[in-house]
Structure 1
Amino acid sequence: MRRLSIAFLVLPAFAQAADLPKPNAVFPALAEAEVRLGWQLFYDPILSGNRSVSCATCHHPDLGTSDGLSLGLGDGATGLGTKRVIDASNPPEQRIPRNAPALWNLGATEFTTFFHDGRLQDDPSRPSGIRTPLGAEMEMGFDNALAAQAMFPVLSGDEMAGHYSENDVAQAVRLGRLTGDGGAWDILAKRVEAIPAYRTAFDAVIGADTDIHFTHIANAMAAFITFEWRAEQSPFDAFLRHGTPLADDAQAGMELFYGAAQCSACHSGLFQTDHDFHAIAMPQIGPGKAARFERHNRDVGRGRVTGDAEDFYAFRTPSLRNVTETAPYGHAGAYADLEDAVRHHLDPKAALAAYSIDQAVLSKGDFANDTALMGNGDDMAAIATANVLGPNALSDDEVAQIMAFLEALTDYDSLDGRLGVPDKVPSGLPLDR
């Protein structure tokens, strides 16, 4: 089978400051047949309960591989980004609890932890090679944690599965039948297998005698994500590889970023993330990531995974590649403007206290929990108390320089992806455009 060529970053030929990252990201080799199969599946609404939502609905190249909203709307709405509107005949119960993260460089081998709270991780010590709170039964068969990400949205009523019992997938989820014959994954896999073009494509990947399982679908989409969205040709990359000078303001911003502003204390490495979790008093809007029976709107982030009080309100450090194109920002998308998000870091407690939901971007819809947590003094105090980031006084000129450096992290040639949006998908269902 022909393999797609995956080049490695090379070290620059000049001496660089010790605290700057080395251009040495590694991406795995990929099979072209699997990449192209994942490309079709990623854009195909066939994987949602009501056949109306695809992965691309919330991770679209036109919107920086996110959805352009602070908190998106999955099942029960139509359209993309700020033009996504509620279907009055089948409205969603709530907004999706967290901001849709961008997908840039997630296929690089250094990315082993996923989601804002890190509840999904590669773990070589486990038989499955991954670890998730859903348990061992749901871990086997995925190539890696990037592939296993796909298990979550298709089982979420807010995202792709649909309202309780309104379709066969939602019904299976409600009954707790996720894996095995007749489970939600099995239903989706059989839908795909029934489409001749998909069955033929899978023949080239898993063999004609192998039944399609959901994990095969997820592995193909992970291969596509790894190939499609690589942002590694920015001005910053040219500087690291070849010593190509940055613009003066971007150079000054880089010196601040890796120096006095202390941004690189968390935003370290080639892709500006330490892959760790930090509490920085980010505002919480929307329903929060909590079980519906818990009757609250708080999102304690990493603490919900570990149960450790020291992890409450800590969230994963996001990569900053193509950050100028991936608004809004924060685990709940609290900031629509990148400079506002940067300034939050200068004094998180003060920024939290002064926060207004007008700084977010929400599609139209009347959801009582949009601002519920911000009106709860105890919850706001808890978020502020957990903050570990002290004040850092920067001038307006210095903030502008950091903004210029963040612009230098943008690889504009990557934004459309390598394959782009397909003209059609094998199911024949309409694509989000």
Structure 2
Amino acid sequence: MQKEAPRDRRRLAFMWTWLAVLLAGCGGPDGGTSQPAAGELIDQKLSAVLYEQGFTGRVEQSLERRLGRKLDPRLADVGRLLFFDRISNLHNDNTCAGCHAPTNGFGDSQPMAIGIQSNLLVGPHRLGPRNQRRTPTVVNAAFYPRLMWNGRFAALSGDPFNNALGFQFPLPEGVSKFGPNNPRYPHLLVAQAHMPPTELNEAAGFTGVLDGIDPRLQVFDDGMGMRVPGLDASGSRNEAIREVVVQRLNAVPDYVRKFAEVFGQVREGGAVDIDMFAKAIAEFEFTLVRANAPLDRFARGDAGAMTASQKHGALLFFGKANCVSCHAVRGASNEMFSDFRMHNIGVPQIAPAFGPAKGNTIFDGPGENEDFGLEQVTGEIGDRYKFRTSPLRNLAAQPAFFHNGAFVKLEDAVRHHLDVLASLKNYDAAKAGVAPDLVGRTAPVDTVSATLDPQMSKALRLTEAEFADLVNFLRYGLLDERVRPGEMCKLVPDKLPSGPQFLTFEACR
């Protein structure tokens, strides 16, 4: 007897589910059949919706299959050490984990990132000059086909596991560095890991930088850390910075030994090159997949994984509220609740003041208080204020929302979506609860609303009960408990190959 294919079984289950829903209103005392209980009916409806959306709750289990191999625990552990080590930071005062905090699901502990010149705290009391945007989480980033708020790093195939068309980066990298079918860059995260050490305001600092930047940024040359290399013949300093990082790695015997255990002695003069560094960082990030939320378990057949409120909220998300039109789950969205496209959803524009201990990024616009988003990548004015749709998993770990942390309460972020024009008109940064240094420099509303995505131009009304259910679903129905600080703080090493741990993670103490 021929076995049913899994897809056939799912189709059959879907048909039976819909049949149960249809029959639910056909029986009763007069019809001689019993109706399902309310809980059973909502389970049937939600199961049918998830099937229709292609949501399986099994994306986490697909990681190694899509990588085409098992994860390498030795390489991942080297990547973990590097993630917390300032050795790739020429300014010597930040790490990947300084912005991608384990206390916040490996996302930002701040509404807007603080990179170099911090007070070495990671948490709500972190101080220092702000960059331009909130640091996105790297949890589940293995499934993202487009990275960064302005989408500047992307898999042209639409699949982060497939570099058949190459990975698109801004110049000077472009597509040429991470070109099609290059076996050195098998995944988008491997390519992306080459970039953080080259960012001046996040990692490298401004010490000795005299060329290639706005002269006003030279005020951030505090003489600390290493002198940043000048521009090379290509007009970039990225490769020169990476060469310094490699030299620093090869000067630490423990790193040389650890890399040699994974890769072997591959070249004379040292065991480590920048590609090895990038692969180690990416391997650690692969271990940070956390996609076993209540909705995932419900989709796999555990009806008790979600509360009644979360189930009602999920039906609103996929139905009346139509959140799924942008926060998609099917196909290339990889069940990450994002279409990974770029939209202007009317986020209020806020910015810190420019200057030492305030902000070390020169913002866009005549008042230098705007972030033009995708326009920075394409140069097209029609792309102004467009940002990548934010994936929604593990929202409960975030201290703020949207690219700039304009809202610090999930409820306020949801209300913004429901009536964008009213939210923009009435926005008050102080009342929204943002940090005091982000209050007072807000861009004009009409400039943002003029190019609003048409999907956001019409208000949607929800009852108080519906609103509460939707927020409950977003906060807890999509939360994998393994992102809680109690679990993530276990990944913080006490000692690093380059020396003791030097950052203090507030929620880990």
TM-score (norm 1): 0.85
Assess, with a 3 A threshold, how the Cα gap between structure 1 residues 255 and 281 changes in structure 2: closer, same or farther.
Answer: same
Matched, 1:409 2:478: yes
Residue in 2 that maps onto 1:298: 370
Superposed CA offset, 1:35-58 (max 9, x none): 111011001011111221010001
1:99 is displaced (CA, Å) by 0.5
Residue in 2 that maps onto 1:133: 170
- Max radius of gyration: which structure? 2
Residue pair 2:58, 2:296 contacting (<8 A) in 1 also? no
Residue pair 1:68, 1:327 contacting (<8 A) in 2 also? yes
1:249 is displaced (CA, Å) by 0.8
Amino acid at match of 1:430: Q
Deviates more, 1:255-264 or 1:265-274: 265-274
2:414 aligned counterpart, secondary structure: helix
Superposed CA offset, 1:385-421 (max 9, x none): 1212021111222110001111111011243249611
CA distance in 2, matches of 1:63, 1:126: 30
Equivalent position to 1:311, from 383, 402, 411: 383
Deviates more, 1:170-179 or 1:48-57: 170-179
Residue pair 1:236, 1:409 contacting (<8 A) in 2 also? yes
CA distance in 1, matches of 2:427, 2:133: 18
2:53 aligned counterpart, secondary structure: coil
Greater relative CO (CA pairs within 8 A, separation 6+): 1
Amino acid at match of 2:125: K
Runs of 4+ residues over 6 Å off in structure 1: 125-128, 292-295
Matched, 1:321 2:393: yes
Superposed, 1:6-155 pairs within 5 Å as: 14-15=13-14, 16-17=47-48, 18-19=52-53, 21-25=55-59, 26-27=62-63, 28=67, 29-78=70-119, 79-86=121-128, 92=129, 95-108=130-143, 111-123=144-156, 129-134=166-171, 135-136=173-174, 138-139=177-178, 141-155=184-198
Residue pair 2:363, 2:369 contacting (<8 A) in 1 also? no
Residue pair 1:45, 1:429 contacting (<8 A) in 2 also? no
Residue pair 2:100, 2:108 contacting (<8 A) in 1 also? yes
Residue in 2 that maps onto 1:226: 286
TM-align CA RMSD: 2.7
Assess, with a 3 A threshold, how the Cα gap between structure 1 residues 104 and 52 changes in structure 2: closer, same or farther.
Answer: same
Residue in 2 that maps onto 1:159: 202
Superposed CA offset, 1:158-196 (max 9, x none): 21111242367552156755355xx11110111011111
CA distance in 2, matches of 1:324, 1:14: 32
CA distance in 2, matches of 1:81, 1:55: 14
TM-score (norm 2): 0.73
CA distance in 1, matches of 2:344, 2:364: 25
Matched, 1:398 2:466: yes
Deviates more, 1:183-192 or 1:146-155: 146-155
Residue pair 1:142, 1:218 contacting (<8 A) in 2 also? no
Point out where structure 1 has 5 or more consecutive residues left out of the alignment.
1-10, 87-91
Amino acid at match of 2:381: A
CA distance in 1, matches of 2:139, 2:479: 11
2:375 aligned counterpart, secondary structure: helix
Deviates more, 1:302-311 or 1:313-322: 302-311
Amino acid at match of 2:57: P
2:201 aligned counterpart, secondary structure: helix
Residue in 2 that maps onto 1:188: 245
Residue in 2 that maps onto 1:284: 349
Assess, with a 3 A threshold, how the Cα gap between structure 1 residues 216 and 347 changes in structure 2: closer, same or farther.
Answer: same
CA distance in 2, matches of 1:170, 1:121: 31
1:386 aligned counterpart, secondary structure: coil
Amino acid at match of 2:337: Q
2:154 aligned counterpart, secondary structure: strand
Equivalent position to 1:332, from 404, 419, 424: 404
CA distance in 2, matches of 1:168, 1:308: 37
Superposed CA offset, 1:351-373 (max 9, x none): 112112222543x7x6xx8643x
2:391 aligned counterpart, secondary structure: coil
